[in-house]
Amino acid sequence: TDEDDVVVNAFKSFDEEGVIDSERLRHALMTWGDKFSGAEVDTAYEQFEMDNQGRINTTKLIELLVASPNQEEEGVEAAA
């Protein structure tokens, strides 16, 4: 329910050279704010592009979570 820029900035705060350490993010999701359960994190992680070292591609994650400006414009045009 957050604005896209809030979501983008939140995940970029975990970004380390284009990737996010999945264990660091898991800890944050289960510790602060609206806490996720381990099962909820596991379910979300099934959707994320992750390498064999447990690093999540930051750009792909943000694209998954927020609509790009092009997608938003296409939605407006399709509705017209």
26-67 residue pLDDT tens? 999 999 989 999 999 999 999 999 999 999 999 999 998 886
The three-class DSSP label of residue 9 is helix
Q: Where are the domains of the chain?
A: 3-66
For residue 3, the model assigns a pLDDT of 85
Cα end-to-end span (Å), the chain: 25
User: How far apart, in whole angstroms, are the C-alpha atoms of residue 25 and residue 29?
Assistant: 6
User: How far apart, in whole angstroms, are the C-alpha atoms of residue 11 and residue 20?
Assistant: 8
For residue 2, the model assigns a pLDDT of 66
CATH number for the region 3-66 comes to 1.10.238.10
State both tokens at 74: 């296409």
